[in-house]
């Protein structure tokens, strides 16, 4: 299968090349030439475990990868999780939670980032690349740690993570800044996530800078969901959730269901839309934003306008105004006219906004419902949900529940799967206050009190952070990132 840039200014690549490069030379994102039809394979997938389902879905895109090796890599990756990598929990009639936080770093990013090291290394081997690979990643909280954990101590790879200073939760910061490994580096950046992401994209598309690194035997790749190797494994858990519901006789084969997804950079929900294009019986995807509700306005009006106030919220992984993966959806909306998509992205870079037609807006509304949940509502959702179901939500998942509640009031009732994207213990202070009304500023004390309140044990990944030394304290301006990347690349 070939992969094309959403902006049309790069040669077609195979899957290995697309994953190794991460971002196309023209700044666009790689998209598959077609969406494999798996509608007739759902029955076959019912008896598979999660790793087998993941390998099956991935193999339809990664055609030059050896299937047996891919299956083995999936088994190895998902053995790092709790008993099930992506269990579906029934809470009520037609209400289900897809728990995606059972991996090494307690966030849904683990689903892809435990597997990406294999996809990248095998991709390099497939195309005959022997250079050292430099992974550059901008993170709004969870991607950073998941990528660091996946790539630490991997031979032939260095990874550098940039996160917004004072823009992530304390547990997220500690998870990143205490990471072990000689091949990792973490830098806080003055500004917000969009500043980090824009700076990383600029580095990726600077041909002079890339040539300079190439002379040192180093090439770039990315662990953000801009990389198709990050996005592709996420498609699998939509198929897996559906198969689990059919196997449990909660739904009939072919019955359409909804998915509610907390959304920031648009990768998680785009994976669900890709699954629908591949034949999964999805009715609508519920796009849930926090107070940074640029996506809500886009789906309502057809105008994407990032010229607005940026808010720091209790769901920091969604504090994003430039949702990079939306570009892949726009490309499909433009009927794969790369020139039209490139023009919109130029307008976004130059003016902070672009628009789609009224007909395109109407088309989007058939597949998506979009709304947002502010801070007060998010806290109320966490408290009320715990009171009703004795189930503890993290703030990101609470946003999805809050938006789904509004959707359910105005739509036909059907089964919904809400994607739970992080452990509540990563945001213990906010969750504890929402459940009890009591403030606790120390993250570890809040975690212990939340454990006492809920009866759910504090994960070992959180407990061990208390005694880990902080290795990374650097705070940089965004214009200094190139020099920092160059210095790290040269470090032996």
Asked about 109 being catalytic, the answer comes back as yes
242, containing H or E segment: helix 228-247
Going by C-beta distance under 8 Å and a sequence separation of 6 or more, which residues neighbour residue 249? none
DSSP-derived 3-state class of residue 466: helix
Quote the CA–CA distance of 57 and 483 in Å, as a whole number: 40
Closest CA to 3 of 102, 127, 88: 127
Contact predicate 179/201, CB 8 Å: no
Please tell me what DSSP assigns to residue 425: G
CA angle 309, 172, 380 (to 5 degrees): 60
Quote the CA–CA distance of 439 and 425 in Å, as a whole number: 15
Quote the CA–CA distance of 416 and 146 in Å, as a whole number: 27
Q: Which residues pair with 419 in a beta bridge?
A: 98
436 φ/ψ angles, rounded to the nearest 5 degrees: -120, -20
Quote the CA–CA distance of 483 and 388 in Å, as a whole number: 52
Please tell me what DSSP assigns to residue 422: B
CA angle 244, 391, 174 (to 5 degrees): 100
DSSP-derived 3-state class of residue 216: coil
Of residues 13, 60, 109, 201, which has the active-site annotation? 109
Helix, strand, coil percentages for the chain (3-state, nearest 5): 50, 15, 35
Closest CA to 174 of 399, 419, 425, 378: 425
User: Is residue 431 classed exposed, middle or buried when 0-12, 13-18 and 19+ CB atoms within 10 A define those classes?
Assistant: buried
User: Is the four-CA dihedral 118, 15, 183, 142 of positive or negative sign?
Assistant: negative
Closest CA to 3 of 35, 47, 37, 41: 35
CA angle 333, 334, 337 (to 5 degrees): 145
Contact predicate 373/403, CB 8 Å: yes
Closest CA to 85 of 279, 224, 233, 230: 233
Quote the CA–CA distance of 132 and 335 in Å, as a whole number: 37
Contact predicate 268/389, CB 8 Å: no
Quote the CA–CA distance of 388 and 394 in Å, as a whole number: 16
Catalytic residues: 109
């Amino acid at each position: 299968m070939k992969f094309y840039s959403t902006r049309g200014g790069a040669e077609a690549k195979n899957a290995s090349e697309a994953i190794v490069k991460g971002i196309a030379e023209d700044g666009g994102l790689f998209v598959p030439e077609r969406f494999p039809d798996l509608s007739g394979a759902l029955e076959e997938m019912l008896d598979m475990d999660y790793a087998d389902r993941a390998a099956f879905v991935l193999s339809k895109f990664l055609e030059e990868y050896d299937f047996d090796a891919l299956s083995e890599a999936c088994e190895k990756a998902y053995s790092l999780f709790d008993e099930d990598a992506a269990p579906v929990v029934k809470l009520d009639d037609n209400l289900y939670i897809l728990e995606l936080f059972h991996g090494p770093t307690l966030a849904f990013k683990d689903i892809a980032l435990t597997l990406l090291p294999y996809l990248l290394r095998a991709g390099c081997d497939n195309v005959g690349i022997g250079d050292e690979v430099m992974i550059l990643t901008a993170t709004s909280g969870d991607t950073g740690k998941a990528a660091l954990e996946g790539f630490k101590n991997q031979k032939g790879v260095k990874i550098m993570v940039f996160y917004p200073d004072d823009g992530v939760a304390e547990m997220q910061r500690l998870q990143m800044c205490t990471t072990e490994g000689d091949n990792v580096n973490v830098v806080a950046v003055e500004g917000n996530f969009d500043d980090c992401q824009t700076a990383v994209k600029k580095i990726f598309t600077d041909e002079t800078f890339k040539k300079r690194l190439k002379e040192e035997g180093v090439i770039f790749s990315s662990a953000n969901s801009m990389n198709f190797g990050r996005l592709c494994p996420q498609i699998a858990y939509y198929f897996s959730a559906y198969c689990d519901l059919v196997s449990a006789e909660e739904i009939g084969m072919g019955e359409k269901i909804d998915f509610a997804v907390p959304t920031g950079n648009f990768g998680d929900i785009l994976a669900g839309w890709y699954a629908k294009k591949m034949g999964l019986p999805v009715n609508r995807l519920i796009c849930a934003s926090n107070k940074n509700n640029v996506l809500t306005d886009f789906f309502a009006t057809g105008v994407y306008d990032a010229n607005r106030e940026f808010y720091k919220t209790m769901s920091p992984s969604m504090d994003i105004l430039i949702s990079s993966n939306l570009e892949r959806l726009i490309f499909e909306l433009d009927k794969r006219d790369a020139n039209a998509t490139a023009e919109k992205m130029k307008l976004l870079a130059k003016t902070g906004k672009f628009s789609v037609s009224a007909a395109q807006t109407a088309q989007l509304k058939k597949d998506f419902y979009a709304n947002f949940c502010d801070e007060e509502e998010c806290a109320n959702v966490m408290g009320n949900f715990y009171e009703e179901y004795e189930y503890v939500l993290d703030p990101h998942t609470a946003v999805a529940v809050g938006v789904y509640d509004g959707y359910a009031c105005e739509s036909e009732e059907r089964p919904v799967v809400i994607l739970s994207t992080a452990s509540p213990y990563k945001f213990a202070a906010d969750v504890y206050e929402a459940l009890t009304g009591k403030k606790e500023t120390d993250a570890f004390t809040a975690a212990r009190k939340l454990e006492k309140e809920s009866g759910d044990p504090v994960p070992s990944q959180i407990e061990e952070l208390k005694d880990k030394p902080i290795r990374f304290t650097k705070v940089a301006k965004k214009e200094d990132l190139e020099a920092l990347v160059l210095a790290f690349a040269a470090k032996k």
